[in-house]
Amino acid sequence: MKIVYSRPKSMKEAHFHYCPGCGHGVITRLIAEVVDEMELRDKAICVAPAGCGMLVYNYFDIDTIESAHGRGAAVATGIKRVLPENLVFSYQGDGDLAAIGTAEGFHAANRGEPITIIFVNNGVYGMTGGQMAPTTMLEQVTTTSPAGRDSLTQGHPVKICEVYATLDGTSYLERVAVNKPAAIIKTKKAIAKAFRHQQQKTGFSLVEILSPCPTNWKMNPLDACRWVDDVMTKIFPLGLIKETKKC
């Protein structure tokens, strides 16, 4: 019998803590698959965030370090400068990268640090219970925007890829999603491409992944997947945002 599907080598045997229908599990696995396929397990170092993604170090069977909330890009910078030949990537959510870690992410991108950020955008603070994130949609109801996000008092969804695209240090920025099989395949390709950019030292790379959060969106998993297409992609259009060199 031929094995066609199994746990990637870069993953430990563990149960995900993610909620049913959450995109994190898919993303975690995709990263491990790419690390395996590119034979980077021996070189990979993951910086884990604060938030739902924080426990990735329980799942990845690669070297991992936890960072304080928002500081992933700074920690990854410190590691990468000491170990320039290793694959260093930071796994961050929207609150982590687009709110508290704005400065660290922006300036790592501006310096063109040859690191990769896997940016999981689900529009809410998941782990703390569904508060408004910088990427929350206008009129979206969260526990801290109970009347819906109001642009007059709560601002607008932050478009990280588009902001980073203005920085000369960034070499590869793409926005993808994990709400349906075709999108998942594209996401995997994007992660691999970002890692190739890092290996070829072209500059800073980031993959923004729109990811469903049925628990905090108060939806069933199917509706959450549809909502990514129907609502999120209207504000966060999918596709290649920037690539300075084909990799």
Partner 1 sequence: MSGNTAVGEAAVLAGCTCYFGYPITPQNELTEYMARRIAEVPGGVFIQSESEIAAINMVLGAAAAGARAMTSSSGPGISLKQEGVSYLAADELPAVIVNMMRGGPGMGNISPAQSDYLQATRGGGHGDYRTIVLAPSSVQEAVDLVYVAFDLADMYRNPVVVLGDGMLGQMMEPVTFTAPPPKKEYPKDYVLTGASGRPSRMIRSLLFDTKEEEEHNWKLFRKYQLMEQNEARYETFMLDDADMALLAYGIAARIAKGAIKRLRQEGLKVGLIRPITLWPFPRKIIQEAAKELADFFVFEMSTGQMIEDVKLALEGKGHVHFYGRPGGVIPTPVELSRIVARHYYQSQRSKRR
- Residue ranges in contact with partner 1 by CB under 8 A: 41-45, 47-48, 54, 57, 60-68, 71, 74-83, 86-87, 103-104, 106-107, 111
The smaller minimum CB distance to partner 1, of residues 10 and 205, is found at 10
For residues 100 and 138, which CB has a smaller minimum distance to partner 1 in the complex? 100
Q: How far apart are CB 113 and partner 1 at their closest, in Å?
A: 9
Q: End-to-end distance of the chain based on CA atoms, in angstroms? A: 36
Tokens (6 digits) for 172:
């590869």
* Tokens describing residue 15: 């149960």
Q: Residues 6 or more apart from 199 whose CB is under 8 A from it?
A: 87
- Shortest separation between residue 179's beta carbon and partner 1, angstroms: 29
Say how far residue 208 (Cα) sits from the centre of its chain: 5
Q: Which is nearer to partner 1, 83 or 185 (CB)?
A: 83
Cβ atoms of 244 and 202 closer than 8 Å: yes
Minimum CB separation of residue 58 from partner 1 in Å reads: 8
| Least distance (Å) between residue 84 CB and partner 1 | 9
Q: What is the DSSP letter of 178?
A: -
How many other CB atoms are found less than 10 A from the CB of residue 83?
12
Burial of 2 (C-beta count, 10 Å sphere; 0-12/13-18/19+): exposed
Measured from the CB atom, is 112 or 148 closer to partner 1? 112
